Amino acid sequence: MQPPASASLGMPDPKQLPLTGVRVLDFSRLLPGPFCSQVLVDLGAEVIRVDDATRDDGGDLMRQEAQLDGFGDGEFFHLVNRGKKSIALNLRDPRAVDIVKRLVVDVDIVLEGFRPGVMQRLGIGYSALSAVRPELVYCAISGYGQSGSFAAQAGHDLNYQALSGTLHHSRPAHQPPAVGGLQIADLAGGAMTAVSAILAALLEAKLKGRGRFLDVSMTDGLLALNVYTLGLLSLRSQEPKPGQELITGGAACYQLYPTQDGRWLAVGALEQKFWIRFCNVIGRPDLAEFGHSLGDVGQATIRAVSEELIRKPLADWREIFASEDCCVTPVLTLEEALHHGPAAQRSGIWRTPEGRLRSGFPVSMQSTEQQDPLRVSAQSPEIGGHSRALLRAAGYREQDIDQLMEAGVAR
């Protein structure tokens, strides 16, 4: 099956996009930085990837994941690099550093995701580039931030979840922590935190002519998202119980329940009016006063609800609850979500002519001139695919560009 045809395949008038005219020089790799700059592309910015001219994968493992089983065979790269340009440079060569400085003159944002100190050692850290472009917004995304004893340590999404307290609470009661299917530290703690900071700093730069250095720690960003458990810790001065609190699995009104056919229902009847309606629909009005109970009473209520919901397959429950306003939904697979979920009607996901899935910025920004969702090209750049054009625009003559390419400074 394929998702329905989407209006997102077209290319809008670029004058209608919010960040039209904003230029980004993106040194980042893998997922957090590229996802951040993908959002900026979707909002209209021109994003120039700086790839590594000395490597066949451009320095980004996600370009050639076929060597790692289960890593997507390049699809991850294409999902977060649509509509970008690429210049390939050997940043260990001083001539490449000069190229970067010439490019930065016309750049609003620099984005990087290396360990702290790498860009400074290359000669293209914030102090060096802001001297060329004082209004520059320079965003550094790292696992643990630019300071502190963890700063130089390696890590990935799972580590950031572990060190932010998130993984400890992402589990059912009395069960071990589990590896999830969403890279929430990379994408939410890192990329989207960076997007928010970048847009705020960009506004300041445009209004006041003042640049900023943005130190984005994915672990800090994820920790800040633990609003519920942080609130409980603050209130009680003791660690919340994993999987046993009101909205973490301890209450019947906010729970996942199995159905007869091995599928699941998500019951989010948190408000009492929804819970009462839910109890009436399943024929158990006697449970109405116990929906928010925790501990032994909560567990007994969960068992009682489970005994009712296990009697029918998911399709039957979907039909029963289709017209009931009580926050009950099926737990869909990803493919089902693409075809039958809300996204199927809002054109956030589409397929390329080759049949590959692509996702766009999931916000419709309407104005009097534009009523459609934002749309950008589905194509990601070849390594150095725009090097010559960008060097030419930066003032290099053709013979100079030829020499730089022959010397391996650019590609």
Catalytic residues: 186
Rounded to whole angstroms, the Cα distance separating 358 from 3 reads: 11
306 token code pair: 């489970």
- Give helix then strand counts, H and E, for the chain: 17, 11
In the beta sheet, which residues pair with residue 328?
267
Are 165 and 229 spatial neighbours (Cβ–Cβ below 8 Å)?
yes
Q: How many CB atoms are closer than 10 A to CB 325?
A: 9
Alpha helices, H only, 145-271 = 157-163, 166-169, 184, 193-208, 218-224, 227-236
Rounded to whole angstroms, the Cα distance separating 250 from 318 reads: 24
* DSSP string for 124-135: -SHHHHHHH-TT
Question: What are the CB-based long-range contacts (under 8 Å, 24+) for 349-352?
Answer: 349/3, 349/6, 349/8, 350/3, 350/5, 350/6, 350/8, 350/9, 350/378, 351/2, 351/3, 351/6, 352/378
Burial class (CB in 10 A: 0-12, 13-18, 19+), 397: exposed
